[in-house]
Amino acid sequence: MAGRRQAAPARFGSVATEISPPADGESLAVGEFAAIAAAAIRLGYGGKLRPSGTRQEEVDSLTAQPTGHVMWSPDPIRQRLADHLIEDVLNLPDDAPRVELRDGVMIVVPSPTIGHQNIGNLLWAWLRQHAPEEFEPVTAVGIAVSLNNTLEPDVLLLRRPVAGTNHFLLPSQVAIAVEVVSAGTKRRDRLEKPVEYAAARIPHFWRIEQHPLHVFAYDLVDDHYELVADSDDKLVLTVPFAIELPIRDITP
């Protein structure tokens, strides 16, 4: 019907794309373009759209995304491809949460509670005071199992020397890996993490249960862990050094 024009088709390509005007030479209305641009954004189109006869400044004002802080989250495409490496973790923004790599997929580590953190900090302080000089306790650092697999224990007892600038340590540097079990990490800390630490050949693994506080200590035997001691009073061990840990000393 005369006087009513059809919407111009959008041609999407790998470079900046222009919306072609109708045959009569009239430029595509800015309002129509805005609708097309919004749809392209929803579909994940990464190119630039500009209607004929429209200044780029007008387009920018129509398609601008809301400003302000945007919380970090893993790239969904790379998550599906499972191709994240340790380098990607090291390049995360400062406000990103702690993550573990599991076969190239980033898994966000749940935020700890105050009680959880207090237990880890008290254990760190006890180990710092009682461990021989050849060992160094640390928190909030990771183990590089492979280029696409990492672990983030709650506490580590490392063998010196330790580079103070590193976030990831090799499994061969780890004497004890410690996990403090929380409500959201029960399955991971009780079932999955021991298997992964054993596969990485970590010689000693401690699991700390809360409510009430109880420490379970395991030694690596062949390719699996065996329980060697547990206590809600005093943990007594002979390796990796002579340990007599009063549980009250790590109880918040």
User: Mean pLDDT, to the nearest integer, of 188-213?
Assistant: 98
What's the maximum distance between 2 C-alpha atoms anywhere in the chain? 94
- Bridging pattern class, strands 142-146 and 168-169: parallel
Using CB atoms within 10 Å of the CB of residue 28, give its burial: 0 to 12 exposed, 13 to 18 middle, 19+ buried: buried
More confident residue, 46 or 66: 66
CB neighbours of residue 69 within 10 Å? 6
What integer pLDDT is reported at residue 195 of this predicted model? 98
User: Into which CATH architecture does domain 107-250 fall?
Assistant: Alpha-Beta Complex (3.90)
Cβ-in-10-Å burial (0-12, 13-18, 19+) of 225 comes to buried
In the predicted structure, residue 54 carries a pLDDT above the cut 90? no
This prediction has a pTM of: 0.73
Q: Which residue ranges does the chain devote to CATH 3.90.1570.10?
A: 107-250
Q: State yes or no: pLDDT of 177 exceeds 90.
A: yes
Q: Which amino acid is at 218?
A: Y
30: which residues sit within 8 A by CB, 6+ positions away? 51, 54, 58, 62
Q: How far is the C-alpha of 153 from the C-alpha of 169, rounded, in Å?
A: 11
Q: Is residue 14's pLDDT more than 50?
A: no
Given a cut of 90, is residue 22 above it in pLDDT? no
The residue type of 210 is: Q
Contact 200, 102 (CB under 8 A): no
Whole-number percent of the chain with pLDDT over 70: 73
d(CA 101, CA 99): 7
| 126 phi and psi angles, rounded to 5 deg | -65, -45
Taking the chain, what is the end-to-end CA distance rounded to the nearest angstrom? 80
Angle at CA 108, nearest 5°, toward 111 and 93?
95
| Mean per-residue pLDDT, 94-109 | 95
Arithmetic mean of pLDDT, 126-136: 98
Q: Does the pLDDT value for residue 6 go beyond 90?
A: no
